[in-house]
Amino acid sequence: MTTRPVIVVEDDPFPRMLKAFLDPTIEPQRLAALADFFAHDLPDFAGWLAQLRALAGPLYPADVRLAKNQETLRALLPEAIAVVTESLAIGATELAIAPKLKVVEKYGMLLRDIDVAACEAKSIQVLSLRRRANISCAEHAMMLMLALSKKLHRLHGRISIEQLRAAGYQPKAFDTGYTPNSGWPRVPGMSILYGTTLGIIGFGEIGREIALRAHAFGMRVICTQRTPISAAEQRQWHVEYLAPEAVLVQSDWLCIQLPANAGTRNYLDQAQFAQMKPGAKLINVSRAQVVNRDALLAALRSGQLGGFALDPQYEEPGRADDELLGFENVILTPHVAAMPRHNGLDDFKDMVRGMAACIR
């Protein structure tokens, strides 16, 4: 019988890192893989790990057990003092078989899979986390929108007459005796976000972070997902919930924020592109596969789609000869929207510190 506290963690790519951080029996190969994963932002992984374990108090050393599904979660709950979940549910059934449980940590801020009232009735603390990586993805989405609207990817570093002409523009100074000289590069088709409509398909945590930022830019934000959101949530996030077809038709900008699975693959296809407002622009910082690539290319060629930005790509690493790179109204970035790694590192520190305070 172990004397170490048992922590049950959902076996998802990020939460399961806690096993390596808090369980001293972790295999060296896993620790080495994590050190490599964080190395470009955190050269001293061993030093950071020592700091985290010092913060953990009674949580280190722990017996961290991973749960891939709801059935496994329930099998592990009888010994658990803490649970970390991203999508697995904690309700009355789970609490009835978890007599030692003191804290439930949601790896995220939305508690829809956790029965908070039932936890409170048993004096079990429920913690949530506003994940920095989600905030970073939202910032990246806004950056991509701004770059497309201001043609930043076309104009960066092109400040001379020769450079601008080589890029296909016709720069010429204005008669400053009568007019200002702003806009002398004479770049057509630039726009602003203010007053335009942003549609968000999939209103999860990243979608909500995007909505907050778009609202600050003066955009009208509409959204859709499988389950309608309440009027109170619409007010909280400054959005209007509409049917999917209405979001497609009304959006000047469209952000698709869906997980990659069998049900979402090719969610945006030829039929959906045909419904979109001509010239609308699409931003995807979720997974490439939720947009049908052939339909995407056809929409860009025809001009039905006025611009596109993507992170991550259809292949990783991407290819230098990717056809998408040939479009002047496309921006591609190589799976960096959630960076830097300190986002996750700081989240883990917050999680461990919070859970430790609940079980002292």
* Same-domain status, 288 and 142: yes
Task: Please indicate, yes or no, if residue 182 is contained in any of the structural domains.
Answer: no
Q: What's the burial of 254, exposed, middle or buried (CB within 10 Å: 0-12/13-18/19+)?
A: buried
* Same-domain status, 75 and 112: yes
pTM: 0.95
Residue 3: per-residue pLDDT? 85
Task: Please indicate, yes or no, if residue 355 is contained in any of the structural domains.
Answer: no
DSSP string, 215-271: HHTT-EEEEE-SSPPPHHHHHHHT-EE--HHHHHHH-SEEEE----STTTTT-B-HH
What counts of helices (H) and strands (E) characterise the chain?
A: 15, 12
* Same-domain status, 229 and 314: yes
Task: Please indicate, yes or no, if residue 339 is contained in any of the structural domains.
Answer: no
Q: Return mean pLDDT, the chain.
A: 97
Task: Please indicate, yes or no, if residue 77 is contained in any of the structural domains.
Answer: yes
* Same-domain status, 30 and 143: no
* Same-domain status, 57 and 138: no
* Same-domain status, 63 and 114: yes
CA distance 327 to 320: 13
Task: Please indicate, yes or no, if residue 280 is contained in any of the structural domains.
Answer: yes
* Same-domain status, 279 and 324: yes
Which residue, among 239, 256, 242, has the nearest Cα to 308 in the 3D structure? 256
* Same-domain status, 210 and 122: no
The residues pairing with 221 across neighbouring beta strands, listed in sequence order, are 198
Residue 2: per-residue pLDDT? 52
Question: What backbone phi and psi angles, to 5 degrees, belong to 28?
Answer: -55, -35
Q: What is the pLDDT of residues 108-146, one digit of tens each?
A: 999 999 999 999 999 999 999 999 999 999 999 999 999
* Same-domain status, 85 and 214: no
Here the CATH number for the domain that contains residue 206 is 3.40.50.720
Domain of 306?
134-151+189-332
Question: What backbone phi and psi angles, to 5 degrees, belong to 308?
Answer: -150, 140
CA distance 247 to 240: 10
Task: Please indicate, yes or no, if residue 319 is contained in any of the structural domains.
Answer: yes
Task: Please indicate, yes or no, if residue 340 is contained in any of the structural domains.
Answer: no
The residues pairing with 126 across neighbouring beta strands, listed in sequence order, are 104
Could you tell me which residues come within 8 angstroms of residue 43 by beta carbon, excluding any fewer than 6 positions away?
none
Give SS3 for 172.
coil
Instruction: Give the strands of the sheet with 80-85, arranged side by side.
Output: 63-67, 6-10, 80-85, 103-106, 125-127
What residue ranges of the chain have pLDDT lower than 70? 1-2
* Same-domain status, 81 and 144: no
CA distance 169 to 155: 10
* Same-domain status, 79 and 140: no
CA distance 3 to 63: 9
Could you tell me which residues come within 8 angstroms of residue 116 by beta carbon, excluding any fewer than 6 positions away?
126
Q: How many domains does the chain have?
A: 2
* Same-domain status, 199 and 311: yes
Task: Please indicate, yes or no, if residue 212 is contained in any of the structural domains.
Answer: yes
